[in-house]
Structure 1
Amino acid sequence: MQSALSAVTPRLEPRPLDPRDVEVPLTPEEQRSIAMQLGPLLLGVGLLGLGSLYALWVPDQADMAALIQAVAALVVATPILRRGLRGFMSSEPANLTEQLVSLAVLASMAVGEFVTAGLVPLFLELGHLFEERSSRGAVAAIDGIRKLSSQQATRVQDGVEEEVEPDQLRSGDEVIVRPGQVIPVDGQVLTGFSSVDQAPITGESVYEDVEPGSSVFSGTVNLGGVLRIRAEGVGGQSVLGRVVETLRQVEQSKTPALRLIERYAGVYLPVVLSVAGVTLFTTGELGRAIAVLIVSCPCALVLAGPAAMIVSMTASTRRSILIKSASFLETVAEVDTLILDKTGTVTAGALSLDRVIASGDATEQEVLQVAAACAHGSLHPVSRAIVRAAEESQLDYAPAETSEELPGKGVRVAGSEPCLLGRRQWLADEGVAIPDQAPASGPGVWVARGHEVLGYLSLSDRPRAEARAALEQTRQLGMERLVLLTGDREEVAREVAEELGFDAYVAEVLPEQKLEVVREEQASGHKVMMVGDGVNDALALSGSDVGVAVGARVNEVALGGADVALLSEDLDRLPMMMRLAEKTRSVVVQNALIGTLFSVGMVALASLGVITPLTGAVLHNAGALFVIANSSRLSGGETSAVQA
Structure 2
Amino acid sequence: MSKSQISCESEACNCHGSGCSHEHTERELKINLIRLVTAGFFVTLAVLTEYRIIPLTELEIPAALISLALTAYPILKEAALGLIKGAWNVCELAALALVAAVLIGEFTAAAEIAFILTIGEMVEDYLYARTQKDIHSLMLHVPTTANIIRNEEIIEIAVDDIKIGDRILIRPGERIPVDGEIQKGHSDVDESFRTGESLPIQKNPGDTVYSGSINLDGILVITAIKPANQSSYAKVVELVQKAGMRRPPSHPMIDTFAHYYTPLILVIAFGTAFVTNDIVRGITVLIVACPCALLLATPSAVLAAIGPAAKQGILIKSGSFLEMCKKITTIVFDKTGTLTSGEMNVTTIIPENGSTQEEVLIIASSAERSSPHPIARAILKEAKRTGIVLSGVGTGRHFPGKGAEDTWNGAPVLVGNRDFFKKNSIPVLESAKQDNIQKNMYETEVLVAKNGEYIGKILISDTLHTDTKKALASLRHLGYSQYAIITGDNKKAAQAIADELEIPESMTYSGLLPSDKEKFVADLQEKGERVCFVGDGTNDGPALIRADIGVGMGSRANTLALESSGVILMEQGLSSLPTFLKLGKKTSQTIKENISLALLLNCMLIGLAAGGLITPVIGAIGHQFATIIVLVNSIRLSYTFSGY
- Normalised by the length of structure 1, the TM-score is 0.71
Q: Unpaired runs of 5+ in structure 1?
A: 1-22, 356-378, 389-399, 406-435, 446-456
Aligned equivalent of 2:305: 312
2:73 to 78, 82, 96: 78
Aligned equivalent of 2:582: 579
Aligned equivalent of 1:607: 610
Give a deviation string over 1:42-70, Cα, whole Å, max 9, x none.
Answer: 379669979999xx9xx9x98x9968965
Aligned equivalent of 1:427: none
Aligned equivalent of 1:475: 476
Hey, what's the Cα distance between the residues in 2 that align with 1:380 and 1:52? 74
Answer whether contact 2:315 2:568 (CA < 8 A) is retained.
yes
CA 182–119 in structure 1, closer or farther in 2 if over 3 Å, else same: same
SS at 2:343's partner residue? coil
Hey, what's the Cα distance between the residues in 1 that align with 2:305 and 2:40? 38
CA 113–488 in structure 1, closer or farther in 2 if over 3 Å, else same: closer
Aligned equivalent of 1:540: 543
Aligned equivalent of 2:508: 505
Hey, what's the Cα distance between the residues in 2 that align with 1:591 and 1:294? 20
Measure how far apart 1:319 and its partner are: 2.4
Give a deviation string over 1:453-500, Cα, whole Å, max 9, x none.
Answer: xxxx99731211222232233233333432221222222222221122
Aligned equivalent of 2:321: 328
Q: Which has the larger radius of gyration?
A: 1
CA 43–479 in structure 1, closer or farther in 2 if over 3 Å, else same: closer
Give a deviation string over 1:192-236, Cα, whole Å, max 9, x none.
Answer: 543211122112343123355542223322222354555544565
Measure how far apart 1:626 and its partner are: 1.8
Aligned equivalent of 1:298: 291
Alignment-mate amino acid for residue 527 of structure 1? R
Hey, what's the Cα distance between the residues in 2 that align with 1:380 and 1:88? 61
Measure how far apart 1:253 and its partner are: 5.5
Counting matched residue pairs gives 536
Give a deviation string over 1:368-404, Cα, whole Å, max 9, x none.
Answer: xxxxxxxxxxx9847968999xxxxxxxxxxx9x999
Measure how far apart 1:279 and its partner are: 1.9
Measure how far apart 1:444 and its partner are: 9.8
Hey, what's the Cα distance between the residues in 1 that align with 2:185 and 2:478? 45
Hey, what's the Cα distance between the residues in 2 that align with 1:168 and 1:116? 62
Aligned equivalent of 1:626: 629
Answer whether contact 2:288 2:620 (CA < 8 A) is retained.
yes
Answer whether contact 1:198 1:220 (CA < 8 A) is retained.
yes
Hey, what's the Cα distance between the residues in 1 that align with 2:388 and 2:170? 37
Hey, what's the Cα distance between the residues in 1 that align with 2:512 and 2:206? 33
Alignment-mate amino acid for residue 29 of structure 1? T
SS at 1:531's partner residue? strand
Hey, what's the Cα distance between the residues in 2 that align with 1:109 and 1:460? 77
CA 182–382 in structure 1, closer or farther in 2 if over 3 Å, else same: closer
Hey, what's the Cα distance between the residues in 2 that align with 1:277 and 1:328? 41
Hey, what's the Cα distance between the residues in 2 that align with 1:184 and 1:256? 35
Answer whether contact 1:199 1:220 (CA < 8 A) is retained.
yes
Answer whether contact 2:314 2:570 (CA < 8 A) is retained.
yes
Aligned equivalent of 2:27: 31
Aligned equivalent of 1:87: 82
Hey, what's the Cα distance between the residues in 2 that align with 1:462 and 1:550? 17
Answer whether contact 2:120 2:627 (CA < 8 A) is retained.
no
Hey, what's the Cα distance between the residues in 2 that align with 1:521 and 1:219? 38
Hey, what's the Cα distance between the residues in 1 that align with 2:43 and 2:338? 66
Hey, what's the Cα distance between the residues in 1 that align with 2:435 and 2:569? 45
Hey, what's the Cα distance between the residues in 1 that align with 2:512 and 2:444? 22
1:137 to 130, 133, 136: 130
CA RMSD of aligned residues (A): 4.4
Give a deviation string over 1:80-109, Cα, whole Å, max 9, x none.
Answer: 21122123345889x72x423321222222
Measure how far apart 1:554 and its partner are: 5.9
Give a deviation string over 1:506-562, Cα, whole Å, max 9, x none.
Answer: 122222222232233333433222211133111222222222111323644443322
Q: Unpaired runs of 5+ in structure 2?
A: 8-23, 349-375, 391-433, 446-457
Answer whether contact 1:254 1:326 (CA < 8 A) is retained.
no
Hey, what's the Cα distance between the residues in 1 that align with 2:220 and 2:287? 61
CA 507–73 in structure 1, closer or farther in 2 if over 3 Å, else same: closer
Hey, what's the Cα distance between the residues in 1 that align with 2:168 and 2:204? 15
Measure how far apart 1:309 and its partner are: 0.9
Taking the TM superposition and a 5 Å limit, the aligned residue runs for 1:360-399 are 381=378
Answer whether contact 2:174 2:214 (CA < 8 A) is retained.
yes
Alignment-mate amino acid for residue 498 of structure 1? D
Alignment-mate amino acid for residue 31 of structure 1? R
Measure how far apart 1:310 and its partner are: 1.3
Answer whether contact 2:323 2:587 (CA < 8 A) is retained.
no
Taking the TM superposition and a 5 Å limit, the aligned residue runs for 1:194-233 are 194-211=187-204, 213-227=206-220, 229=222, 231-233=224-226
CA 611–335 in structure 1, closer or farther in 2 if over 3 Å, else same: same
Hey, what's the Cα distance between the residues in 1 that align with 2:126 and 2:641? 25
SS at 1:333's partner residue? helix
Hey, what's the Cα distance between the residues in 2 that align with 1:51 and 1:589? 35
CA 112–578 in structure 1, closer or farther in 2 if over 3 Å, else same: closer
Answer whether contact 1:91 1:262 (CA < 8 A) is retained.
no
SS at 1:547's partner residue? strand
Aligned equivalent of 2:341: 348
SS at 1:340's partner residue? strand
- Normalised by the length of structure 2, the TM-score is 0.71
Alignment-mate amino acid for residue 350 of structure 1? E
Alignment-mate amino acid for residue 466 of structure 1? D
SS at 2:488's partner residue? coil
Aligned equivalent of 1:274: 267
Q: Sequence identity, in percent? A: 30
